[in-house]
Amino acid sequence: MIEDGSTFDGIGFGYPADIAGEVVFNTGMVGYTETLTDPSYRGQILCLTYPLIGNYGVPSIEDTDEFGLPRFFESDRIQIRGLIIHDLSVVASHWSCVKTLDEWLYEQRIPGICNIDTRELTKKLRINGVMMGAISTWAVQEGAATNSEIDVRERLSGLIKNQTYVQQNFMPEVSTNTPRVYGDKARDTLVLLDTGTKNSIIRNILRIGFRVVSLPWDSSFDEVMLHKPKGIVISNGPGDPKVCKTAIKTASELIKASVPTLGICLGHQILALAAGADTYKLKFGHRGQNKPCIDLRSNRTYITSQNHGYGIEPKSLNGTGFKVWFSNVDDHTVEGIEHESKPIIAVQFHPEASPGPYDCIFVFDRFKELLDDFSRRSSSARTTESNNDNNKSNPKVKMSVARKKKTKEEEICQNMKQ
């Protein structure tokens, strides 16, 4: 059932349970293991619009990459509250498959429901906007009394009324509680402010040659700078960005101090709020792997992977020091910002993809270029400052300067006499 009273009958799978959450849809065709473990979906019931789900099963979380991160999972557990699909594949076939989607959801105690008209449900969400909903699934035992339709409707209606999504702070559920270190200690450090980060963001920071120190979402500016980072990455995450007040305060200090920073998804919104801009809730969000965005620097269009329900109010960027970097082709929403004078950039989409196209992975490489340029300019400034200090303490230089000033004064006086 969804908030407007519409009900959809189907067949339960996964773990039998009654749950409620914000109902959203994703248009991606593949990548359900990455999608379901994305912390940005915390508190939501996910409807997948592609009709056949589960045909390649679920791989092992023990299958890791060269950095020790799971290849096919974006966190250590399923993050959604419930799954809605049309056709569940009970047979899974793939070389990496170790279990079915049904088995995985059961292990993780997540309810799913199939045989749903996902097209009709998606149309309702597109027309009316995302809304709260509930799922009730139960195991049918031979000889046991069945739930009446009236009882189920009342139970679902009660679940929806008692559950909220807007203004709920999911950070304690998705952020690390203590600092976590990834990569070679001999490398320069990037601090990752974990507001619900995906493993692929960590992977790409390691790929460009840095060590990662992941910190809790509510870390202060001083706690961040204690690690002497070359730069900061503010990650993706769930919910309303305005709830993340501590992260916004930290980001505002990063901007003020001109610390090189990259914001992704929720991090994009946090940086905008920290600069004085405003955010708002989208009607039905952007969730899929085929969202076109224009790079306004080159006028080139990229296909991006997205998962967000909030956006930046474009006019509110005036006077913040930020300008629009990327724009959404479909609805012209802000998809990226860059500071006019500081090494700070952010994107609303997911440059790390996972799942989705890797067309925009260059965003991490551009951030590395900003870091390298900032380091060169900082080093040059320190050298100049050191030379100036040496000149001030060198009496020969002082005498030379004094002679030059005297010569200039004598020249002026001579001209006045003439």
The DSSP 8-state label assigned to residue 19 in this structure reads E
- In this structure, what token pair is assigned to residue 229? 């980072």
How many other CB atoms are there within 10 angstroms of residue 228's CB atom? Answer: 10
Active site residue 369: no
Helical (H) or strand (E) element with 227: none
Q: Please report, in angstroms and rounded to a whole number, the separation of the first and last CA atoms in the chain.
A: 98
Of these residues, 244, 308, 350, 360, which one is catalytic?
350
How distant is the alpha carbon of residue 92 from its chain centre?
Answer: 30
Helical (H) or strand (E) element with 387: helix 362-392
Active site residue 265: yes
- 193 CB-contact burial (10 Å; exposed 0-12 / middle 13-18 / buried 19+): buried
- 286 CB-contact burial (10 Å; exposed 0-12 / middle 13-18 / buried 19+): buried
Of these residues, 265, 268, 308, 338, which one is catalytic?
265
- For 119, 149, 219, the CA distances from 192, given in Å and listed in that order, are 38, 49, 10
Of these residues, 22, 34, 335, 352, which one is catalytic?
352
Contact 259, 222 (CB under 8 A): no
Tell me the pairing of strands 131-136 and 18-26: antiparallel
Q: Which residues contact 226 (CB under 8 A, 6 or more apart)?
A: none
- In this structure, what token pair is assigned to residue 150? 């009236």
Torsion of Cα atoms, 366 then 370 then 375 then 381, to 10°: 150
**CA–CA separation, 147 and 413 (whole Å):** 106
Active site residue 244: no
Tell me the pairing of strands 189-194 and 231-234: parallel
Q: Name 136's bridge partners.
A: 18
Q: What is the DSSP string of 87-128?
A: EE-SS---TTEEE-HHHHHHHTT-EEEES--HHHHHHHHHHH
Q: What is the DSSP string of 262-325?
A: EEETHHHHHHHHHTT--EEEEEEEEEEEEEEEEETTTTEEEEEEEEEEEEE-GGGGTTTTEEEE
Q: Tell me which residues are annotated as active site.
A: 265, 350, 352
